[in-house]
């Protein structure tokens, strides 16, 4: 893990991160900048490994500089000691190698290590993965592409059977399923629900992230979507697409292999914040 100095004018913070983008993401909250601003920064990388970022919305400039560790002094040994070492060493005859002495049993091959599941990764690692990939959201050329990219990132880090991004319509009276994945995703994309209905409506209107373990026992659940899609929702993780005091909709993940937890909620909120920053710039 490398060490980085991140400064914005006067204040400077020192963080540890695998790369400059991870360092930038880790330092933003400590510099008083919302994490969601990462998606709109314009960044350039120098040949020395340092990076410069500019916030086009505020004009703030942020520099990310690697901290160069001093190399340890070389080990110096007197020539007399080296001479005495080599004077006492006599070459040994090379051992005779025959086919009978070689181990030619290749039947047992090394078993490849299984990939680390997202939930098995520490929270900090998953956070850095968001920082590494949030530029994919920033590069989107349409609302649908930005929503689908963010949803894919969230599902890569928080296992779930299905999920969706709902964006507030221009009229402000509904939430539109703009992106989705899962067994019945094609049946709900482009459909809408009233803006004051469902877990999504609650999360959007109150700016609150929440985990519902049994959706059908929660009075806020909008069961009409399940009936029209044929998909049964059991548990929900919902976070608002909130940035700069405004919510643009909601991101939902459904039916995990294990129960959603607080770390899943935190990771998804970070992804949603990056998407909200993109929506703010595109639609605000």
Instruction: Report residues of the chain scoring pLDDT below 50.
Output: 81-83, 85-89, 91, 94-115
Measure the CA–CA gap between 277 and 149, rounded to whole angstroms: 14
Q: What is the pLDDT of residues 100-143, one digit of tens each?
A: 443 433 333 334 444 456 666 788 888 888 888 888 999 999 99
Residues 234 and 126 both lie in one domain: yes
Number of domains in the chain: 2
Measure the CA–CA gap between 246 and 49, rounded to whole angstroms: 35
Q: Per the domain annotation, does 38 fall within a domain?
A: yes
Encode burial over 102-141: b for 16+ CB neighbours within 10 A, e otherwise. eeeeeeeeeeeeeeeebbebeeeebbbbbbbbbebbbebe
Containing structural domain, residue 149: 121-283
Q: Per the domain annotation, does 85 fall within a domain?
A: no
Q: Per the domain annotation, does 74 fall within a domain?
A: no
Q: What is the pLDDT of residues 153-184, one digit of tens each?
A: 999 999 999 999 999 999 999 999 999 999 99
> pTM of the prediction?
0.63
Structural contact between residues 273 and 36, judged by C-beta atoms closer than 8 angstroms: yes
- pLDDT reported for residue 109: 38
- pLDDT reported for residue 107: 35
- Angle at CA 117, nearest 5°, toward 155 and 232? 45
Residues 133 and 274 both lie in one domain: yes
> Looking up tokens 């350039």, which residue turns up?
44
> Looking up tokens 């020539």, which residue turns up?
79
- pLDDT reported for residue 102: 36
Residues 61 and 139 both lie in one domain: no
- pLDDT reported for residue 118: 63
Q: Per the domain annotation, does 142 fall within a domain?
A: yes
- pLDDT reported for residue 106: 31
Q: Per the domain annotation, does 73 fall within a domain?
A: no
Residues 177 and 268 both lie in one domain: yes
Q: Per the domain annotation, does 236 fall within a domain?
A: yes
Q: Which sign does the torsion angle of CA 123, 248, 218, 156 carry?
A: negative
Q: Per the domain annotation, does 54 fall within a domain?
A: yes
Burial of 27 (0-12, 13-18, 19+ CB in 10 A): buried
Neighbour tally for 1: CB within 10 Å: 9
């Amino acid at each position: 893990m490398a060490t980085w100095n991140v400064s914005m004018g006067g204040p400077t913070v020192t963080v540890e991160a695998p790369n400059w983008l991870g360092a930038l993401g880790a330092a933003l909250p400590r510099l008083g900048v919302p994490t969601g601003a990462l998606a709109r920064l314009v960044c350039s990388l120098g040949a020395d490994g340092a990076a410069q970022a500019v916030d086009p919305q505020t004009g703030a400039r942020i520099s990310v500089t690697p901290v160069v560790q001093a190399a340890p002094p070389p080990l110096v040994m007197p020539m007399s000691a080296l001479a005495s070492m080599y004077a006492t060493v006599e070459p040994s005859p090379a051992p005779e190698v025959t086919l009978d002495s070689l181990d030619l049993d290749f039947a047992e091959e090394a078993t490849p290590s299984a990939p680390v599941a997202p939930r098995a990764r520490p929270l900090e690692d998953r956070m850095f993965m968001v920082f590494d990939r949030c530029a994919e959201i920033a590069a989107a050329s349409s609302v649908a592409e930005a929503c689908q990219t963010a949803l894919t990132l969230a599902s890569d880090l928080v296992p779930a059977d299905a999920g969706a991004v709902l964006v507030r319509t221009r009229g402000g009276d509904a939430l539109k399923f703009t992106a989705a994945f899962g067994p019945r995703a094609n049946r709900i994309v482009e459909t809408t629900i009233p803006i004051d209905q469902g877990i999504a409506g609650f999360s959007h209107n109150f700016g609150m992230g929440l985990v519902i373990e049994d959706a059908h026992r929660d009075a806020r659940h909008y069961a009409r979507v399940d009936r029209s899609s044929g998909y049964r929702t059991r548990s929900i993780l919902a976070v608002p697409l909130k940035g700069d005091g405004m919510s643009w909709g909601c991101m939902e993940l459904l039916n995990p292999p294990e129960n959603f937890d607080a770390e899943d909620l935190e990771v998804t909120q970070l992804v949603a914040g990056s998407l909200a920053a993109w929506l703010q710039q595109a639609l605000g």
